[in-house]
Amino acid sequence: MSAFSLHNNIRFITSQWRFLLFGVLLAFFSSPGQTFFISLFSAEIRGELNLSHGDFGMIYAMGTLCSAATIIFLGRSVDIFRLQPVALAVIIGLAFATSFFSIVSSAVMLGFGIYFLRLTGQGMMSHLYATAMSRRYVAERGRAVAIATQGHPLSEVLMPAFALLLLAVMDWRQIWQVTTILLLVVMIPATLMLSGRQDGQDGAGVDGLAAGRDGNHWTTRQVIFQWRFLLLAGLVLAPSFTSTGLFFHQIYFADLKNIPLPLWASGYTVYAALSIFGSLIGGAMVDRFSATAIAPFIVAFLAWPVFLLGQISSPMMVWVYFAIFGLIQGGVYPVVTPIWAELYGTRHLGGIKAVMHALMVFASALSPAGIGIMIDAGYGLNAILIVMGAVPVIAGMLGFAGCWLGRPKGTSRIHPKSNP
């Protein structure tokens, strides 16, 4: 039966809605640690703390890099402990981070605030749902990751609207306090009620026994010191580098193109709608063909919205840019995420994904700082876009080599799922 079947999607959602909803909520509430949300307050923060674009970008980069180093160790907790207690600890940690961010009053405090937000929000919340979906499901792993990923586009539509609405009636610091309360009120009951195992989950959770493509369960150390790791790393680095750079400096890009902020913000609705569509297509294609067959190409296609950004000259082009960006970016995460389970098995998946997530966070630190430095140095938009567009193309080429070289004999290029 086709992986693209609407009947299959409805059947899967209706039978697994509790755990899938938990994944969606984890993805949604990772937003306080995501660049698109933090950057909404960049003008106010830079104004109060007297920071330039480059200063803010460097502080953001340092906080993000430190969080990347931390998650390598913290991410292994999902290999040791059950999902529910880890999730509760991460949620409480994120609530502390959002509360702390509301009181930052210096560049040093801002650095710590960004570190806590990036570690718990963009880091551990995303790591939790992606690892949980990959572990609990095998035959429909791509579909499960794709559905849980819908929390991201939903947050990218609702959270900016939520923030801009509240900015009209309250200070930006108060918005972060409201975010803390909302996080605790929603996520603690949701974790207690929705994170348990259900019938129909063919993965084995923390005791997962789904082997990798070669029939083995790779340890984190084995993965890092294998030649393939260097080629595959770009599939994680490039999407994070590109999307974070585009989001973090979005106010600058909008000003440069003379696009009013409300019009630019309206593009998020288009972005989110196409992102949902892209992620569902990506997840279905993974279940039909495999992540290793699709990932290099979708990563390389991220150069397309970078090119379109340079062509914006009208309101219609703003929406075209966000549509293409959302369609491709939406498909990236559900396509790239299952690669590690496909290649290396699930027994040590938490540790392996923690390293990959650290790389993603590392890349998300490079582009805000790098682009901020280029802006302060007077480089034009074309130079910035050439750098940002080249990264996903090169990563896709290297990723293609990593996915296909060294493939065990007898393994199909079309559908490698030999572990039903």
Token pair belonging to 331 = 């498909």
Sign of CA dihedral 100, 253, 381, 324: positive
- So what's the pLDDT on residue 228? 83
Task: Supply the DSSP symbol for 407.
Answer: P
pLDDT of res. 73: 85
C-alpha 385/C-alpha 362 separation (Å) is 20
Q: Are 347 and 105 in contact (CB under 8 A)?
A: no
The pLDDT value given to residue 201: 66
**Residue at 8 is within a domain:** no
Q: How many domains does the chain have?
A: 1
pLDDT at 407: 53
Q: What are phi and psi of 195, to 5 degrees?
A: -90, 0
Query: Which residues, other chains included, contact 380 with Cβ-Cβ below 8 Å and sequence gap of 6+?
Result: none
More confident position, 211 or 291:
291
Calculate the CA dihedral of residues 408, 410, 413, 414 and round it to 10 degrees.
-140
Mean pLDDT of 102-112: 95
Q: Residue 216 — very low, low, confident or very high, per pLDDT cuts 50/70/90?
A: low
Q: Does residue 2 sit within a domain?
A: no
> Is a pLDDT exceeding 60 seen at residue 419?
no
pLDDT digits (tens, 9 = 90+) for 373-412: 888 888 888 899 999 999 999 999 999 998 877 554 444 4
Q: Is residue 200 very low, low, confident or very high in pLDDT (cuts 50, 70, 90)?
A: low
Using a pLDDT cut of 90, give the percent of the chain over it.
34
Has residue 92 been placed in a domain? yes
Task: Indicate which CATH number applies to the domain containing 178.
Answer: 1.20.1250.20
Of 238, 290, 302, nearest in space to 403 by CA: 290
SS3 197: coil
Q: Is residue 5 in a domain?
A: no
Residue with tokens 């949701």: 190
Between 110-119, 165-174, 241-250, 340-349, the lowest mean confidence (pLDDT) is in 340-349
Query: Given this model, what pLDDT does residue 406 score?
Result: 54
What domain range is 118 assigned to?
Answer: 16-195+202-404
Q: Does residue 343 form part of some domain? A: yes
Other Cβ atoms within 10 Å of 320 Cβ, number: 17
The CA distance from 32 to 179, in Å, is 8
Rounded average pLDDT over 316-335: 91
Contact status, residue 358 vs residue 259, Cβ threshold 8 Å:
no
Q: In which residue are the tokens 């150069």 written?
A: 303
419 is a domain residue:
no
pLDDT value of residue 99 = 97
- pLDDT averaged over every residue in the chain: 84
Distances, alpha carbon 319 to alpha carbons 93, 161, 241, in Å: 36, 17, 22
Long-range contacts of 45-48, Cβ-Cβ distance < 8 Å, separation of 24 or more: 45/104, 45/110, 45/172
Task: Give pLDDT tens digits for 251-306.
Answer: 788 888 888 877 887 887 888 889 888 888 888 888 888 888 899 999 999 999 99
Per the domain annotation, does 398 fall within a domain? yes
**Vertex 236: Cα angle to 235 and 242 (nearest 5):** 90
- Residue 2 pLDDT level (bands cut at 50, 70, 90): very low
Question: What count of residues does the chain have?
Answer: 420
DSSP, res 196:
S
Tell me, yes or no, whether 155 lies in a domain.
Answer: yes
For 13-53, the pLDDT digits (tens) are 888 899 999 999 999 999 999 988 998 898 899 999 999 87
More confident call, 2 vs 419: 2
Greater model confidence, 8 or 144: 144
Question: pLDDT tens-digit profile of 367-379?
Answer: 888 888 888 888 8
Long-range pairs for 172-175: beta carbons < 8 A, 24 or more residues apart: 172/41, 172/44, 172/45, 173/102, 173/103, 174/102, 175/41
